[in-house]
Each structure stands twice: as structure tokens, then as C-alpha cells.
Amino acid sequence: MNYKITTIPGDGIGPDIVREGCRVLDAIGKKCGHSFTYTETLAGGAALDATGEPLPKATLDACLASDAVLLGAVGGPKWDVLPGAKRPEKALLGLRAGMNVYANLRPALMFPQLSAACPLKPEIVAKGLDILIVRELTGGIYFGDRGRNDKGDSAWDTEAYSIPEIERVVKIGFDSAMKRSKKLCVVDKANILETSRLWREVTERMKASYPEVELSYMYVDNAAMQLVRNPGQFDVIVTSNMFGDILSDEASQITGSIGMLASASLGDSGPGLYEPIHGSAPDIAGKDIANPLATILTCAMLLRYSLGLGVEACMIETAVERVLDEGWRTADIAGSARDREALADKLVGTKKMGDLVLKAIEAL
Ligand code: IPM
Ligand code: MG
């Protein structure tokens, strides 16, 4: 079967890593009898430079007409001086809203091969670290009414959620928990926020349909603390757009492997939007040193969630594990300067890491 993938390489290291992701998809296709047709489009700073808009209509149209969208990263210091509506990040919000991908799945996974990079004490992560954050992505304060008064000396941003918006993302939380360790934690600020109280009411009404799921609620300030104190208590976390943004950065950092983490943004139907968690790292763009593994693992999520190719997704994940088992590392996951030196020829760049994964896929 042929699948249509829209790619958005974006800015900084985006083109370097998306290239490797596509090579891996092609290798899987070759092995398993699928083919992929790519349509490369512009968004973020690259689109601003070429068209004056962070998200040209042609890009959104191409995304909506495809089976899945693979995004590298957007943004960089060059465009930081621009006003809000013209910033590269605007492209991300436009894509999320335009594709109606309201559920952002951000797994925070510690790879056992890289456990030395985890900044927490070994006894805190003795059982490993595997949390799934489900972040609401198309509502809340990111999209609420905002503005300034006439004098410009007062400003507001509004957090608003409707019952259907809450229901659909909490459902993803419950369904994800059912596929994992059957624990769901709703993170909110229900001691202060009315929106959080509505999240709790809606969740309480839904829980009867998931009798096997152990449900809990936690205030976001406490959750931020518990994530470093005892992260093993969490399985699936479901939360609002803003809290999910903050907690997912924290969760990814405690895995020690931010260059390894993938994400998927999904709606009810239509294509999903897939991107690595890390940013555009403009300082290392085009130098063949960025770690492509997060994007490669993002391609696995793409196969699993948008194309229904679970076996093929597992093949990519296994191939990445093999490459790590063999000791290959890009600089970001190679430890200290001294560790890097000791790695000698096992320290590789972007393209070589891609080659190694291709070889591991062929050998499966
Ligand atoms: C993320 C990013 C974005 C967000 C920014 C770049 C707009 O931090 O994807 O987590 O806040 O959603
Ligand atoms: Mg963020």
C-alpha cells in the first residue's frame, strides 16, 4: 500500500533529522511491502523567509490531504524579534488547530542503555521510567481570548474548556491507560481554577466506563514535585494544554534522553501530526551531529497511530534498541567529554546513525 506523508522539515536541525526519518520509513517500506510518497512543505521560519507567513495555506492543505504529517522543528533566534502573529511558533498552533489534533501524546521513556544520563538518583529510577503524558492541544489558555486594554497597561489570557473538549481528551487518557498499566492521573489546579473543577466533574462521569483503571487527581504544583521525587508512581497523565506543556518538558528532562523522545498529536479522524520533542537546535544545524533517533522513533509512532502498522512500528523501535545496545551514540547521548572520548569510533553523526538504524532494520 502507498501512503502519503507530508513532511515539514522546518528550521535548524529539522531538515537533518526529517531526512533520516524518511530514509527509515523507506527501509521499512522496502522490507514490508509499503511505499511512501512525500510532499515537502514549508512552515515556521523557513516559511516566513520564503512567503512572509509562518504557516502558508498550501502547507495546511497538503497536511490535510495526507495520511500523516512528519514535522522536524520550527523556530530560531533569527525570527525571535518578530511580533507574536509572525513568529515561527505560530505555525505550530495553526497546524494543531487546523488539523484538529487535540490530543498530544508525549511518552517520557528512559532507555535502559542511557540510564546513566538520568539526572535523578539511581534508586529513584530503579524500576525505570515510562510515563505517558496526554496533553490537551487545541484549547485552554493557548487558544482563549487574549488582549490588552486601551492604555496597554493591562493584559489578559483566558483559560476556557468546554465539556466536549474535556471529554475527548480524557477519553484518550483512559484508553491509553487501558493499553498500559491501567493508571490514570488527571493533573489540574482544581483548588483554584473553575476549568479544573469542570475537568474533574467530566472525568468522574466517565470513570464508570473504565472500572479497571485506577484513577487519581493531583494538583499541578504537586505533580511537578512528584515527578522528580517519585516518578515511578505515574503511568498516564492527562492534563490541560499549558500544564501539559510544562510537565512534559520536566518529564522528558528527567529521562535524560531528550534527544530520543517522540510525540504524536491526534484527532478523531484525519492525519496525525508527528514531531520529536526536542527543538530546532540552530547552533548545530546542518553540521551532521544532531541525534536523529527521536525523529526515527516518531516515525514509529506515525506508523502505529496513523497507518495502523503496529508491527512495522515495533521493528523501528527494536532496530533503535539494537543500535544503542551495540554502543553507538550521537554526541547528545554520549555523556561527559571524557565518556565521548572513550567512545572513539562509536561516536557518530546524524547520517551515520541513520545508516546504522537502516542496517539494523535490514537485519531484523
Ligand atoms: C511545545 C512547544 C510549543 C508549545 C511552543 C514552541 C509554541 O513548547 O510543543 O511543547 O508551547 O506548545
Ligand atoms: Mg513545550
| Residue to mutate, 105, 143, 245, ligand 1, most ligand atoms under 8 Å from C-beta | 245
Q: Which pLDDT value is given to residue 269? A: 92
**For ligand 1, atom 8: residue with the closest CA:** 245
Q: Is 14 exposed, middle or buried (0-12, 13-18, 19+ CB in 10 A)?
A: buried
Last residue of a domain, one of 211, 230, 254: 254
Let me know if residue 64 belongs to a domain: yes
Residues 126, 232: one domain? Answer: yes
Residues 63, 131: one domain? Answer: no
Residues 127, 237: one domain? Answer: yes
**Which ligand 1 atom sits nearest the alpha carbon of residue 248?**
10
Residues 274, 214: one domain? Answer: no
Residues 198, 269: one domain? Answer: no
State which residues form the domain around 101.
1-109+260-364
Q: Which pLDDT value is given to residue 295? A: 98
Residues 239, 130: one domain? Answer: yes
| Residue to mutate, 92, 241, 263, 277, ligand 1, most ligand atoms under 8 Å from C-beta | 92
Residues 214, 274: one domain? Answer: no
Residues 98, 156: one domain? Answer: no
Let me know if residue 329 belongs to a domain: yes
| CA distances from residue 298 to 29, 93, 191, 276, 293 in whole angstroms, order as listed | 16, 19, 36, 6, 8
Let me know if residue 92 belongs to a domain: yes
Q: In this structure, are residues 140 and 93 in contact, taking their beta carbons and an 8 Å threshold?
A: no
Q: Which ligand is nearest to the CA of 142?
A: 1
**For ligand 1, atom 11: residue with the closest CA:** 245
Give the number of domains in the chain: 2
Q: Which ligand is nearest to the CA of 106?
A: 1
Q: Which pLDDT value is given to residue 86? A: 87
Let me know if residue 114 belongs to a domain: no
* Ligand 1 centre distance from Cα of residue 306 (Å): 22
* Ligand 1 centre distance from Cα of residue 90 (Å): 10
Please name the amino acid found at residue 81: V
Residues 133, 217: one domain? Answer: yes
Q: Which pLDDT value is given to residue 130? A: 96
Residues 129, 250: one domain? Answer: yes
Q: In this structure, are residues 198 and 132 in contact, taking their beta carbons and an 8 Å threshold?
A: no
Taking the alpha carbons at both ends of the chain, their separation in whole angstroms is 21
Cell of 220: 499541578
**Which ligand 1 atom sits nearest the alpha carbon of residue 249?**
10
* Ligand 1 centre distance from Cα of residue 72 (Å): 13
Q: Which pLDDT value is given to residue 357? A: 98
Cα–Cα distance for residue pair 267/300, rounded to 1 Å: 18
Cα–Cα distance for residue pair 308/305, rounded to 1 Å: 6
Q: Transcribe 86-143 into DSSP letters.
A: GSTHHHHHHHHHHHT--EEEEEEE--GGGGGG-SS-GGGGTT--EEEEEEE-SSGGGT
Please report, for the domain that includes residue 24, its CATH number: 3.40.718.10
Residues 222, 291: one domain? Answer: no
| CA distances from residue 131 to 108, 231, 234, 254, 291 in whole angstroms, order as listed | 5, 8, 6, 11, 22
Let me know if residue 4 belongs to a domain: yes
Let me know if residue 349 belongs to a domain: yes
User: Which residues are known catalytic residues?
Assistant: 142, 189, 221, 245, 249
Residue with cell 492541544: 137
| Ligand 1 binding residues, C-beta < 6 A | 89, 92, 245
Residues 15, 67: one domain? Answer: yes
* Ligand 2 centre distance from Cα of residue 26 (Å): 30
Last residue of a domain, one of 234, 254, 274: 254
Q: Which pLDDT value is given to residue 176? A: 97
Cα–Cα distance for residue pair 162/139, rounded to 1 Å: 9
Q: Which pLDDT value is given to residue 234? A: 98
Let me know if residue 98 belongs to a domain: yes
Query: Which residues in the chain show pLDDT less than 50?
Result: none
Last residue of a domain, one of 222, 239, 254: 254
Q: Look at residues 229, 221, 217 and name the one whose alpha carbon lies nearest to residue 129.
A: 229
Cα–Cα distance for residue pair 148/134, rounded to 1 Å: 31
Q: Which pLDDT value is given to residue 336? A: 87
Note the pLDDT tens digit of each residue in 300-323. Answer: 999 999 999 999 999 999 999 999
